[in-house]
Chain A
Amino acid sequence: MHDEENTSGKPHSPSPIEWFSTPPKAAIDHRVSTLIKTSIGLGVAAILWSLGWQALAYFGGGLAIFIGGASLISTRFSIIFEHAAAGLGKSIGITLSTLTLTPLYVLLFPIIRFFDVIAGRDPMGYRRSPMIFSYWRSVDDPQRVKRGVKRSFMTERIDQRERGGLISLLLLITFALFAAEIFLRLMGFGHVVLYQQNPHYGYIPAPQQHVIRRGHEISINQWGMRAPEFAAKKPANVTRIIMLGDSTLWGGSYTSQERIYARQLETQLNQRLADTSKRVEVLNISANGWGPAHKLGYLNVHGDFGADIAVIAFPFADLHRPLSHLSMTPFYPAQNPPHLALQEVLYHLSWRWRGQLIGKYTREEREALLQDGVEAYRRLAQALHDRGLEVWLEMLPSRQAVESEGSERERRYLSAIKEGLKSLPFTYHFSFADHPLRTAYQERYNAQTIYHDSGHLNALGHDAYAEYLVERLSHSARFSLGERPSVPQGGGEHE
């Protein structure tokens, strides 16, 4: 059937021929493209040089010259380099896409699947049933294709079954969000104290606010403080006590404003002076999250309001708090208040998340901050003293310290501040070592009943601490005199 092949004639090796009238446009000449690529490589090297990365510039430039030169000498080299570059580019692309798409897939897609399941959706049609008469789907809107021809996606309506599922899902999500909002509001969220930023002392609660939170009124006066209004100038026959503190003095929303120990201190001291013409005003100068730098900054800007006695109230954790501005806190700025409890919670969670991303201070960093904190308190005490105030430093022990000896860190901080304040050349008052809350009141109270958490007092704790402070301050010469003496010289007192 088939003839044997003819082996006569000249050997032939075929070469391409142009069969079509307009052949594909020829690529740029190999040498020209090589020179262009080499120039780009040298340009990149020049940029690296100008940025000061000389070693990288030498490497890049050298590589460009080597590859360009080799490619000009032989197209074989050129092909090898191009394949290597393509392989490298592909590998980088695969790596990048894997790194970016994997988290997206792993985190997002199962959630969508989960919502499909709870909404009863079956997007892939897994369900088969003898009860289903037909699996044909009617095409809802034949005209859609004419309307949608200019679009690269379909413009069909969602069919009834899908729409039902989608509506169910949306209703479920809406209900869940609504229920969460209600629950959070019942938990006390949704009404927040708003804050103002300040370059000198970081931030304060925005003045003139009245917020009911967790059933407690929070009234912020004209000075941005959670306290009754007071005049800038001390009235006659009044002894003023300025208390400088943080959240332990601020009281938290779980404490009634009247139960805050500063307020109780004023009430109780005035009761003791009931038979005299003298009165006492206790100015609560505090904010959540404040450290020594905030207090010093506030004092520098607003002064001491003519106070006679200063009580610097602080827990040990204050000592490593640098001056922070509002963006570093979970507090809402006054110009952009939240409207929902969910919003507040998410804002707070995002703050925690950011904190976790940033990470905690190292031990060395905390030590440095501690030294700064001690120094700031020393300067604060010095400044108050220089203004002629009698200075009391009251370090509030933690719950652990009341229960037992306190943590190693707390004891170390206590030692550090004692050591740091030792050199103050004037008389001041400092308490803690004897843990008065423990020793003086342990018969009536215990740590479980007077603390809200590990460091903040609850209402009962405020009562106890106020009682303690009344006892302490009633021994003050200023309290009995009600006027500023001349500035004492030298010395110091440690209790």
Chain B
Amino acid sequence: MSKRPFNILGVSALYHDSAACLIRDGEIIAAAQEERFSRKKGDSGLPVHAMRWCLNEGEIKRGEIDLVVFFEKPLTKFLRLLRTHTAVAPRGLKSFLMGVPIWLKEKAWSPMAIERFLEREGFGRPAAFEFCEHHLSHAASAFYPSPFEEAAVLTIDGVGEWTSTALSVGEGHDLRMIFEQRFPHSLGMLYSAFTYFTGFKVNSGEYKLMGLAPYGEPRYVDTIYEHIVDVREDGSFRLNLDCFGYLGGLKMTNDKFAELFGGPARASESELTRREMDIARSIQVVTEEIILKMARYARAVSGKPYLVLAGGCALNCVANGKLKRSGLFDDIWIQPAAGDAGGALGAALYSWHAVRDQPRSPLNGQPDRMKGAFLGPSFPEAQIQQYLDDRGYVYRRLTDEEWADYIAERIAANKVVGLFRGRMEFGPRALCARSILADARSPETQSFLNLATKFRESFRPFAPVVLQEDAHEYFEEIFDSPYMLLVDQVKEERLHGAERPSPDTDLKTWVNIPRSDVPAITHVDNSARIQTIDRARNPKMHDILTAFKEKTGYGIMVNTSFNVRSEPIVCTPEDAYVCFMRTGMDTLVLERFVLEKTEQPPWTEGDDWRDRYELD
């Protein structure tokens, strides 16, 4: 009788971006973020839908959950909250009264709530319950799925229990944290403070700040180094806490901070000014410099030729690109779910490999162990067809031969295509399983996608998806970026040589200045956040790009997430159809089924659906 495999349910919850994953004998079976099911962006609740789906996907029967691992130590985190307030008391009463009751009522009991949920759902109580430290969860999520046998591991985020930045070393299946920096000195908090100050939402608007940076000049860099952050050559740093409000306060920054940057924080949704652009650029420069210094130190103390990254700051693609191009390491690998969602995965992997001393599985020709990050739900054709038939939606079923060609044809005809196929991505990036595709050659695409399809700020750039084998034709140095986490410059010969406009140029005008022969994916600084497609990870998308290249000569197109602003990426075919009908998409591809907007019944909703989403 063969031994039953060891099932581990990893859970991250209660801060932002809750998620669950199922690991079976070290292999990732399923992983998904709660927001995709609950349809609440960055859902921080207990990931009941994600847990249920993961366990059902793994066909887990009652009593077969051997272990549940929570991605951090809740009690330590609570103690950190109390300790922080002892450092500011008697100030901070309001935040204390806001924070502590939530802990006492809910967060402190989350492990019990998870066990009760599993019992109620019929999976039975797990045989064991463990807690992995927050940054070890991140480190494990970066190291174990990576292709490297040995690597330095850098994890940077806001804060876990106490750690805000950690340097670890992975060797085989062993993973050891060797250095750390602690709250409140945090690169994530620093970046979030600037996100708040420039009028974006903390914990979700950081990528907007990054996207805004190329519009500005780094004129505040000296101010930041002089007054905000004290950085050492090894990348370690301390913040000047006198300028921040998050210790016992309800705001990230205070008046002293505002004085340094010429006035109060920008109000949300108000007009972006030159000041915000310059601030964005400045903090981006500082962040990149700190990360590069950290990486240099990581290389020196670990002696490893490879680096893996995770934590919210590892989603800073611009910094990642610079790190990759710096040549400090032979190669780097970044966990696609680098934020807290990935903590669920890392916690489970840590318990399997490090705690239980289990070796990592061989790569067997795969580029890494993340399965392309396609770890979420997929839907059988029969179910989709039944849905379409039930609803009376007009569709056409494509054969294998015509499928890629049809999609490429539509994009080449300057149509916007919603692509829904295969398993949903795990992590914040849409990697062509739940993506909106468009022609990168059109100068109108960026503006149209932002304003009519995604309903988001006009300044925000779009990313290219490119055949890996053609990446060198479009970009200067980075030709392998399967998870859209690296930024590189568009190749010099493709640029039109457009001058940088004067500082008072309107953002919309600036965005619409064509800068290359692929203007939709060329940001104002001629950079692009690249996703390369290889046949091993995503053969279907490879087919589409190949077909597109045959028609147009370009193996590249725009790939943006299949959602609108503030909405989670679509999960089910129904989510996809609803999003398709609400927006300016022309074509929807649901696996083999293709739907044209012009052929669909009219779409009516009782109220303005945009009111249902809180702006991020």
Residues of A within 8 A of B (CB): 1-14, 16-17, 19-22, 24-25, 93-94, 97-98, 101-102, 105-106, 109-110, 112-113, 116, 123-126, 128, 132-139, 142, 145-146, 148-154
Grouping DSSP codes into helix (H, G, I), strand (E, B) and loop, the B interface class, with mixed when no group exceeds half, is mixed
Residues of A within 8 A of B572 (CB): 17, 19
Considering the complex of A and B, which 3 residue pairs feature the smallest CB-CB distances, nearest first? Answer: A109-B89, A9-B601, A135-B236
**Given A3-B586, A137-B179, A152-B131, A124-B161 contact (CB < 8 Å):** no
Out of B132, B166, B234, name the residue touching A149 (CB < 8 Å). Answer: B132
Residues of A within 8 A of B130 (CB): 149-150
Q: List 6 A-B contacts (CB under 8 A).
A: A1-B448, A109-B86, A123-B86, A136-B180, A137-B179, A149-B69
Q: Is the CB of B182 within 8 A of A125?
A: yes
Q: Is the CB of B73 within 8 A of A151?
A: yes
Q: Is the CB of A11 within 8 A of B74?
A: no
Q: Is the CB of B101 within 8 A of A101?
A: yes
- Alpha-carbon gap, A93 to B105, bound state (A): 10
Q: Is the CB of A97 within 8 A of B89?
A: no
Tell me whether B383 is interfacial, beta carbon within 8 Å.
yes
Residues of A within 8 A of B574 (CB): 14, 16-17, 19
Residues of B within 8 A of A154 (CB): 73, 76, 133, 161-162
Tell me whether B181 is interfacial, beta carbon within 8 Å.
yes
A-B contact count (CB 8 A): 200
- Alpha-carbon gap, A14 to B577, bound state (A): 10
List residues 120-154 of chain B with CB under 8 A from any CB of chain A: 120-121, 128-133, 136
List residues 163-189 of chain B with CB under 8 A from any CB of chain A: 166-167, 176-182, 184-185
- Alpha-carbon gap, A149 to B136, bound state (A): 11
**Given A17-B574, A113-B87, A152-B131, A2-B181 contact (CB < 8 Å):** no
Q: Is the CB of A105 within 8 A of B598?
A: no
Q: Is the CB of B167 within 8 A of A136?
A: yes
Size bracket of the B interface: 35 or more
Tell me whether B362 is interfacial, beta carbon within 8 Å.
no
Residues of A within 8 A of B240 (CB): 128
Closest to A123 in B: B87
Tell me whether B16 is interfacial, beta carbon within 8 Å.
no
Q: Is the CB of B237 within 8 A of A98?
A: no
Q: Is the CB of B602 within 8 A of A11?
A: yes
**Given A3-B586, A109-B86, A101-B238 contact (CB < 8 Å):** no
Residues of B within 8 A of A (CB): 48-49, 52-53, 56, 69-70, 73-76, 79, 83-90, 93, 96-97, 100-101, 104-105, 111, 120-121, 128-133, 136, 161-162, 166-167, 176-182, 184-185, 230, 232, 234, 236-238, 240-241, 247, 297, 350-351, 354-355, 377, 379, 383, 387, 390-392, 414-416, 442, 444, 448, 452, 571-574, 578, 584, 586, 596-606
Residues of B within 8 A of A110 (CB): 89-90
Q: Is the CB of B414 within 8 A of A128?
A: no
**Given A5-B602, A12-B601, A12-B603, A126-B97 contact (CB < 8 Å):** no
- Alpha-carbon gap, A153 to B108, bound state (A): 11
Out of B354, B377, B414, B442, name the residue touching A20 (CB < 8 Å). Answer: B377
Q: Is the CB of A149 within 8 A of B355?
A: yes
Out of B132, B180, B247, name the residue touching A145 (CB < 8 Å). Answer: B132
Out of B75, B181, B600, name the residue touching A136 (CB < 8 Å). Answer: B181
Out of B75, B90, B355, name the residue touching A109 (CB < 8 Å). Answer: B90
Q: Is the CB of A101 within 8 A of B87?
A: no
Closest to A151 in B: B131
Q: Is the CB of A21 within 8 A of B56?
A: yes
Residues of B within 8 A of A149 (CB): 69, 130-132, 351, 355
**Given A10-B392, A105-B96, A94-B601 contact (CB < 8 Å):** no
Residues of A within 8 A of B184 (CB): 124-125
Residues of B within 8 A of A24 (CB): 48-49, 52
- Alpha-carbon gap, A2 to B451, bound state (A): 14
Q: Is the CB of A152 within 8 A of B73?
A: yes
**Given A123-B86, A152-B111, A20-B56 contact (CB < 8 Å):** yes
Q: Nearest Cβ in chain B — how far from A151, in angstroms?
A: 6
